[in-house]
Structure 1
Amino acid sequence: MMISFVKTYLWLFLPILLLYNFEKRQAINKTILHDVLINHPGEKKPVNAILQEIQNEDGYPVQYVMDVYSVICLKQVCKEIPVTLYWNNIGEYQKYKIAKGRTLEKYEADLFEPEDYLKIQSIMANPNSPFKDVYYDEILSVPQESDIDDLDAVSGPTALELDEKDTVPGAALTCYTLWHWANGEVVSKIKNITGKSLSLTQLQDFILKENETYFNIAINELNRRDLFSKEIIDTIILKVLKDEALLKKAFGYFEKAPSELYYDATKRLFFEGSKKQKLVVIQSLQNASDVPKIQLDDLSTTFGSLSSYQEVSMLLNLMEKKQHYSEILLNNVVPLLESDFLIARRVYWFLKNHKALNANEQDLEVFYQKNKSRL
């Protein structure tokens, strides 16, 4: 009897509880409206639009929404259908919606078929669609006034040739218009808004995410806020030690940091990094002023373990540019006279040309006599 009662209770009230929790979560989400000015290549002037930022209960942006029109009209030749577009928090297009009862149309008022709606979704979801490099005039074909009917997309004879997989036949203008709404200037605006909405902790989480876009958003926002700390830099170093592709962006940030933080970052990356990280560090230090002599001496201790001629040569170039000729450097460089010939020859001329190092002339003479035909 009791079991039967419990089952009945759950059957009656569980849906209500689930609905309550769903509505509660929805209520917790916050919508922030942003007035944005969007440049669309099909429009002569920037377009005013409302971009909705959806935040969760932690103030974390989770989604963006914007209403647009399906096609850019010329002389009222087309039928504009309101379309709602959705993006994630890094500006990646997700989906679209059309109001119930509305339909997209093709040239000569042909209706979209179910498969056309799927295709236009895949077109908008492809950031590298051929529509990226298409000009508005290549698509547009204006019928004679007498032939005008309600149209959604004018796609008569044009100079444009696209594979059928890349467009909806008869609706090239709609595809073009919506693709540029979904993947155009709004993407950078979403990234900027997301960055501004994030807390410092959330920015650090972005740095470590797999997708490179998160990293770029975080670095741009840290630069904008002029925020520098050892904790932030350590987080960035963890990331770029694993992903060399992010080094340029990271150094754009490091080089704006206070000197102590910058030099700590370069030292750690040089000693913990691979060849690529080492080369980027050396290149950055070339342009830095007042590199601490102790740091240059520390870097010189790695000469014996560097794996390539390029690393050795660039590090020697750095010492030359900074006019650093210490005894510690000398002691770390001389053993390379016994290494691979290309490296040894580079070291020989480095020692020969910089008398301030007080290199042992006997060592240089021995190397010269042994290799003079190749110098």
Structure 2
Amino acid sequence: MPILHRLWKSWRYAKITLAFVVLSFVNMEKIKYFQPRTILMEPYSTLEYSVAVEDSISDTAILYKVSSKEGFPIYFYRELFTPVCFDNKCRPLTIRLYWNVTGRYLGFELPEGEFLSKTDHDPFTTEEYEKLNGILANESTPLASIDYNQLTVDANSHGLDDIDGIASATPQNLAPYVINGAAYTTYKLWHEINGPMKRKVQDLTIDDLSPALVLKILKSPVLVDKIWALERIDGYVEFTTELKEQVFELMKDDNYIIVEKALNAINVNELDSDNVQQRLMETLVHENYNIQIRVIEKIADCDALKTSVTMGLVENLGDLNGQVLKKALLVLGKQKLTSDIYFKIAELLRSENRFISNSVKMFLQNENIKEPQILTLLKEE
């Protein structure tokens, strides 16, 4: 048995040595994997920030902000030098982590000649680097809510006493979310990307936030970037003409979440604007039912509609359906309507669509109408 043990150790050390020798030739270039960038501008300057963080690395960290010549932040990064320790066994981890300006994971890069390793210093394969890149980009993962002790099955429970904790079997439900043989490394990197530093990145971007920067972020090909930017218009930046145009353009998006966020980006104070009300009216007329529901709810937030908008709403009542029609009538019920407008609405009492005619009838009956002609029409119905 001692002979077998010595042979095992000799083979293990030879394997480690071979891995380093091979990688010294293979990794002549930096290993790096990235997601799509938010802002496609050329880097011009780099500023460093000493930020207080409460993570497993240190109490403070240096965060670097890379900006364009125009002063727009492009991305952020942090240099990470730390041992990956588990069961009192440690391996060095040297890596640069990148974030987009929205705090979204951007990518990672290793120094020239460096590599990520698994059990016995086995280097990551190309497929494992690609998988890690995908794992780090996934914000909705079980890694967010588990303790690192849940990453592996206790080696001794299998009668094994010479297996590094990192190499122990990963619970089956976590296997898709970690690299086999490097579960703790995966866990540590994910929490560095999605932990306190992410919020610091977002805070620094908010400090630089302007209508022009928001417009650039809204052009990102990534959905979460657009959502982040839309959520930081109301109360953060001036609603300029250019920004207004882009927000209304996004209301035509096929993604309902984008449409909803775009509507929410319009501050209640902007609803008094004739232009904003007109644009909402245009969106109501041309979009599908699900979007119409949200648009008419936004119109309902207006204290008073402009005359042209009120008329536009009345003229399009016959094309509205279901709850959109009912909500539109509720909006009209809050306005000061003239006799001419009431007559225009009353014309829909003759609609072949019984839902429309019945809805209009109920509306007019609740409006305390005095005009004899309208009262006659109501009796006919």
TM-score relative to the length of structure 2: 0.71
Q: 1:293/1:57 Cα in 2 relative to 1: closer, same or farther (>3 Å)?
A: closer
Partner of 1:194: 205
1:254 maps onto 2:266 in alignment: yes
Partner of 2:215: 204
Partner of 1:5: none
1:229 maps onto 2:244 in alignment: no
Match of 2:79 among 56, 62, 67: 67
1:342 maps onto 2:368 in alignment: no
Partner of 2:37: none
Match of 2:313 among 292, 299, 305: 299
Partner of 1:326: 338
After superposition, the CA RMSD in angstroms is: 3.7
AA partner of residue 313 (structure 1): K
In the TM superposition, 1:245-284 aligns within 5 A as 245-261=257-273, 263-272=274-283, 273-275=286-288, 276-284=290-298
Match of 2:378 among 350, 355, 364: 364
1:314 maps onto 2:327 in alignment: yes
Partner of 1:58: 70
Structure 1 residue 195: deviation in Å? 4.7
Give the conservation status (yes or no) of the 8 Å contact 2:84–2:93. no
In the TM superposition, 1:1-375 aligns within 5 A as 29-38=44-53, 43=56, 47-68=59-80, 73=85, 76-100=88-112, 102-107=114-119, 109-115=120-126, 116-139=128-151, 154-156=166-168, 160-162=171-173, 164-197=175-208, 200-243=211-254, 244-261=256-273, 263-272=274-283, 273-275=286-288, 276-292=290-306, 295-304=309-318, 306-320=319-333, 322=334, 324-339=336-351, 340-356=353-369, 358=371, 360-367=374-381
Runs of 5+ in structure 2 lacking a partner?
Answer: 1-41
Give the conservation status (yes or no) of the 8 Å contact 2:139–2:194. yes
Structure 1 residue 251: deviation in Å? 3.0
AA partner of residue 299 (structure 1): L
Give the conservation status (yes or no) of the 8 Å contact 2:234–2:266. no
Structure 1 residue 113: deviation in Å? 4.1
Structure 1 residue 122: deviation in Å? 3.8
Give the conservation status (yes or no) of the 8 Å contact 1:204–1:235. yes
> Larger relative contact order (C-alpha < 8 A, sep ≥ 6)?
2
Q: 1:357/1:287 Cα in 2 relative to 1: closer, same or farther (>3 Å)?
A: farther
AA partner of residue 36 (structure 1): V
AA partner of residue 161 (structure 1): Q
SS in 2 for 1:81: strand
Q: 1:80/1:55 Cα in 2 relative to 1: closer, same or farther (>3 Å)?
A: same
TM-score relative to the length of structure 1: 0.72
Give % identity.
Answer: 20
CA distance in 2, matches of 1:355, 1:203: 48
CA distance in 1, matches of 2:277, 2:221: 23
Structure 1 residue 330: deviation in Å? 1.4
Structure 1 residue 316: deviation in Å? 0.8
Of 232-241 and 184-193, deviating more is: 184-193
Q: 1:356/1:135 Cα in 2 relative to 1: closer, same or farther (>3 Å)?
A: farther
Q: Deviations over 1:230-257 (max 9, x none)?
A: 3432332122234553233233331244
Structure 1 residue 65: deviation in Å? 1.3
Q: Deviations over 1:165-192 (max 9, x none)?
A: 5432222111111122234444444344
CA distance in 1, matches of 2:237, 2:202: 18
Give the conservation status (yes or no) of the 8 Å contact 1:77–1:149. no
CA distance in 2, matches of 1:46, 1:333: 68
CA distance in 2, matches of 1:182, 1:326: 60
Structure 1 residue 93: deviation in Å? 2.9
| Aligned length in residues | 330
